[in-house]
Structure 1
C-alpha cells in the first residue's frame, strides 16, 4: 500500500475542500480491508474518493482518504448473462473500450464520463430517457469493505443491494461492481432549436415518445435546444457532421467560445441577457449517428457549479414556469442554460427516482460568477424544487438535511437500518453524511 503526505484536496467544481490526515492507495482488497479495520479500531474515519466530480461535499475526507486507482479494469465477464464485473475505481470513459470487443454496451449513460463507476453509482448519476433508470439500476452486485474491515459481497438476491447499489459511500468502500449490460447499439441524435413555451408544454409527450429526450433553456430568452436520441441497431453507419466539424462545434464553439462568454459575463453581469439572446439565436439544427456512448457523452471543459433536483415527472412544466418567473423577478443574471431530463421509476432506496417517474431540472453557474448572487440563485431554485417534493442529486449542491430527506424518501429509515448493520461505528462518516443521514 502506498502512502503520500496529504495536502488540500479540491473537487472539480471548486465547491468542496478538505485536508485529509492521510492518503492511502491500496492495491488489493486485503490491503484496503486491513486499513479500514485499523482505522476503525483507532476511531478514525475513512472516505474513498474517485474523480472528484461531485459538487456536493459527499467525498470530503476529514480523516483517511482512499485513492481508488488500485481498483480498475475488468474482473470478470459473464457473456451468457451480458454482465461484467469491474474494479470500482474504473472510470466511465474507460468502459466502452472494454465492452466493444464483447459486442455489449451500458444501457444508459449521463453526459459526463470522467467519474469512476463507484463514484457515479454511489451518488445517483443518471442520463435521460423515460424508460431508463440511472446508472445504479444497472448494478447486479457489489463487493465492499464495511465499517469493521469485513469484506462483503452483496448479490442481486440480497435485499441489501437496494441500499448498496446507491449507498452514498455510507455503507463501505466499494471494490468491484457487476453491471447488467445490453447488446451494443447506435444512436441517431437530432438537435434542434425551439421555442421555450412549446418545448416546456410538450415535454411530457416527448419523454413518452422518444428513447432519450432532453432540452436546454437559455435564461433571459425564449429559446431552447432540444436533443432527441433514438436507439438503432449496432453497426448502423456513423454519419452526420465530420469529426472536424463536430470538434469545431463541440470544442471550439461549445467549450472555447462559451468559456470566453462566461468570463465576460462574470465580470459584466449586465450583459448576460444580451449574450444569451445572441447564443439562443445562433443555435442550429444538426443530425448525426454514432456508437451509443459517443452520443451520450459531451465534453464539459468550462468549470461550473451545479444544483439538480428530481421532482415528479408531471410537475416539470409547472416548476419550469416558476423558475422562469423567479429569474425575471429576482433579476438573476444566469449565463448557463437550464438542463431538463427524465428517468424511469426504480426501487433503489435512495435513488432520486425511487418509486416515481422523475424529471430532473439542473441549474448551473460559472465557477467565477459572484458567489453571493450564485448562492441566491441556488436558494431560489431550491425553494421551487422543495415545494414540488424535490429530491436533490446526491452529488450536486443542496442544503437539505435528514429531516427533509426522510419526508421525500419512503425507505429512508430502511436505508439507515442497513447502514447501522454495515457501519455501526460510522467509520465512513463525514460532515455531508451527518447532514443528510443524521447520526
Structure 2
C-alpha cells in the first residue's frame, strides 16, 4: 500500500523529513517490488519502525517504508524454542503474543514501542551482566537485499552476512521476518529503592553480579540515586493496576513533565529540580510477568545520547562526569541511566568483544543539549566509548572504524548486498563513508 507523504518526524522531533512517497507493504512480494522499482529508477529508500532513534538514521526524502502492516507471529517452533515474527511487530504486541504461547524473550529494554526490526538494527539493549542485546536473541533473518533478492540468513547458511545483519542500521536490506531464540514465560520481582550515589558506585559491581538485572539512575547535582533490581521469582503476579498507573504514569510522567516545563522556562532551576526529583525516587516492589515489567511509560519527550564503555570503567567515568557537571553547571535535570550488558560477537554491536556498561544522558525537549552532550561525549571517548546507533553522537566513519574491529568487513558486506546504494540516506552515507 502506498500513500502520499505529509512529512515525517522522529519521536523527539529532533529529525524531520519530507519523503516523496510512503509505503506500507502487506507482503514480502510488495517489498521486493518496491526495492526493484527503486533500482530501476535510481531512487533510494529507508525503512522506519517507530521513529525512536534520535538520529537521522531512518529519515528519507524519497521512499519511506513502514512495516506497520507486517506484524504478528508467523510460526512457533516449540521443539527448538524459537518463533518467527514479522519484522514490523512492536515489542509490546510481541510480548503479549509470545506469552499466549507460553514463551518470552530473555531480556528487553525499558520501552516496548519499537518494532523488533528497528530494535535489533540499532543495537537496542536492556540490562543484565550475563545478558546480551536484543540482537543476540536473533537466530535467523529474512531480508530483501538491495539487489531485490529474498535472503533467508542464519549463522549456518551465511555466517558473515548474518553477523553484519544482526546490527545493520538498515544499510544491508529490508528485514521482513525475524526468528528469535526464546524461553518459557517467567515472572520477575522488581525492586526500586534510593541509595546515595557514592554508595551505589562502591556496590555497583556486586549488585550487577548478584542480580539478574541491575540498573541505576543518578541525578545531576544530587546525592540520592535510584537503583532498580529484577530477579526471577515464583511469587504470584500482583494486581495493582490503579496504583501502578498512578506511580508509573502520573507521578513519573505528568509530575516530572511539569517540573521539566519549569526547567525549560527557567533553566537555572534545573539543579534544584534535579535534587527534588532525586529525593522523590519511588521505593517499592512488585511481581509481574517479564514482558509486562521490563518496559515503563515514556511520555515526556527528550533528546538522548548513549555510549557503550567497558564495564570495568563505569565508575571512573561517572566520577569524571560528576566533576565536569559541578564545574560547568549545565542546566540539566534529567537523570543519567546506567546499565550493564554482556559482550557479544556482532560486528556493529557496541558490545562487540567486551562486557559493557551503557551510560545514557538526556535533555528535555526544547532545552539546548549540545554543550552538555559534547562534554559528556569527550569523557566517553577517552575511555573507549562506542555510540548507540539510535542515539545522538558526533562520530564519523574515520573515528568509528577505530572503535569497531569489524568495521571494514561490515562495509564490504554492505557493498555486496546493496551494490546500487538504494538503502542509503545522507546520514548513513556519511556514517559509513560510502
Please state whether the residue corresponding to 1:380 is helix, strand or coil.
helix
Give, in angstroms, the shift of residue 4 of structure 1.
Answer: 1.4
**Higher mean displacement: 206-215 or 258-267:** 206-215
Please state whether the residue corresponding to 1:348 is helix, strand or coil.
coil
Find the partner of 1:407 among 387, 393, 402: 402
Find the partner of 1:312 among 300, 306, 310: 310
Please state whether the residue corresponding to 2:352 is helix, strand or coil.
coil
- Looking at structure 2, the residues matched to 22 and 244 of structure 1 have their Cα atoms a distance apart, in angstroms, of 43
Find the partner of 1:251 among 241, 249, 252: 249
Find the partner of 1:346 among 330, 344, 347: 344
TM-score (norm 1): 0.96
Give, in angstroms, the shift of residue 74 of structure 1.
Answer: 1.1
- Looking at structure 1, the residues matched to 265 and 283 of structure 2 have their Cα atoms a distance apart, in angstroms, of 31
- Looking at structure 2, the residues matched to 334 and 151 of structure 1 have their Cα atoms a distance apart, in angstroms, of 47
Find the partner of 1:388 among 383, 389, 397: 383
- Looking at structure 2, the residues matched to 383 and 201 of structure 1 have their Cα atoms a distance apart, in angstroms, of 24
Partner of 2:272: 274
- Give aligned pairs, total: 432
- Looking at structure 2, the residues matched to 232 and 328 of structure 1 have their Cα atoms a distance apart, in angstroms, of 41
**Pair 1:186-2:181 in alignment:** no
Please state whether the residue corresponding to 2:286 is helix, strand or coil.
strand
Partner of 2:285: 287
- Looking at structure 2, the residues matched to 317 and 137 of structure 1 have their Cα atoms a distance apart, in angstroms, of 26
Question: Does the Cα contact within 8 Å between 2:217 and 2:227 map onto a contact in 1?
Answer: yes
Structure 1: gaps spanning 5 or more residues: none
After superposition, where does 1:59-78 map in structure 2 within 5 Å? 59-78=58-77
Offset from partner CA, 1:144-194 (integer Å, 9 cap, x none):
111111111101312121111111100000110000001111101111100
- Looking at structure 2, the residues matched to 264 and 397 of structure 1 have their Cα atoms a distance apart, in angstroms, of 24
Partner of 1:227: 228
Partner of 1:424: 419
Please state whether the residue corresponding to 2:59 is helix, strand or coil.
coil
Please state whether the residue corresponding to 1:219 is helix, strand or coil.
coil
- Looking at structure 2, the residues matched to 72 and 283 of structure 1 have their Cα atoms a distance apart, in angstroms, of 36
Offset from partner CA, 1:51-107 (integer Å, 9 cap, x none):
111111110112211121231111111011111111101100101221112211000
Please state whether the residue corresponding to 1:178 is helix, strand or coil.
strand
- Looking at structure 1, the residues matched to 205 and 428 of structure 2 have their Cα atoms a distance apart, in angstroms, of 34
Give, in angstroms, the shift of residue 328 of structure 1.
Answer: 1.3
Offset from partner CA, 1:107-137 (integer Å, 9 cap, x none):
0000000000001110010000000001011
- Looking at structure 1, the residues matched to 365 and 81 of structure 2 have their Cα atoms a distance apart, in angstroms, of 41
Question: Does the Cα contact within 8 Å between 1:309 and 1:392 map onto a contact in 2?
Answer: yes
Partner of 2:175: 174
- Looking at structure 2, the residues matched to 284 and 412 of structure 1 have their Cα atoms a distance apart, in angstroms, of 42
Offset from partner CA, 1:252-300 (integer Å, 9 cap, x none):
1100100000000111111112122222222242111111112111100
Give, in angstroms, the shift of residue 7 of structure 1.
Answer: 2.0
- Looking at structure 2, the residues matched to 275 and 49 of structure 1 have their Cα atoms a distance apart, in angstroms, of 35
Offset from partner CA, 1:187-221 (integer Å, 9 cap, x none):
01111100011112221221122110000001110
Please state whether the residue corresponding to 1:40 is helix, strand or coil.
helix
Partner of 2:432: 437
- Looking at structure 1, the residues matched to 279 and 19 of structure 2 have their Cα atoms a distance apart, in angstroms, of 47
Offset from partner CA, 1:332-383 (integer Å, 9 cap, x none):
01111000001000110001101100000000000021x2xx1110111111
